[in-house]
Amino acid sequence: MSGRLVLTHTQLCQKLNLDTLRKTDDMEREILLSMLLSPVPFKFPSHAELASAVRIRKNVVLAARKTALDFHTTEAERPLEYWTYHTDTGFTLIPGKSLITALQKATQPDESAKLYSFSCYRATEYVILLGIAQELEKW
């Protein structure tokens, strides 16, 4: 399967005239509104923690838009300049290397010029971890 993913707006964006594909402020609004409409309440002890949670979700969306992988159930590979592999521990970041850059190079072919093999579950973990790491970098 080849080609690019076609991004469209959600019904919430259409009803509220939000342009989350071009405006990150609109994306943050959609995320916050979706959290408020959730059947499971989100509780944050401070405004700063709520704002951070919204930014993490935004980072995940932006990273996911750039992500393209070679999905495989039995093979896995990562950029060797950032990751080591051992059968006991799996892939481990090389000490001193940037976690953010390593995750981007592993998941975003525009950063590495290569599609790396991932399972769906592991790919999801990497994209979420990238969103969290990008938020933590600001702290």
Per-residue pLDDT of the chain (139 residues), as tens digits, is 445 555 567 788 788 888 888 899 999 999 999 999 999 999 999 999 999 999 999 999 999 999 999 988 888 899 999 999 999 999 999 999 999 999 999 999 999 999 999 988 899 999 999 999 999 998 8
Amino acid at site 76? A
Two structure tokens written together for 73: 């159930």
pLDDT for the residue numbered 5: 53
| Adjacent-strand bridge partners of 90 | 86
Taking residue 12's Cβ as centre, other Cβ atoms within 10 Å add up to 14
Q: How far apart are CA 34 and CA 53, in angstroms?
A: 12
Terminal Cα distance for the chain, rounded = 40
Smallest Cα–Cα separation from 61: which of 37, 83, 34, 79?
A: 34
3 state SS of 92: strand
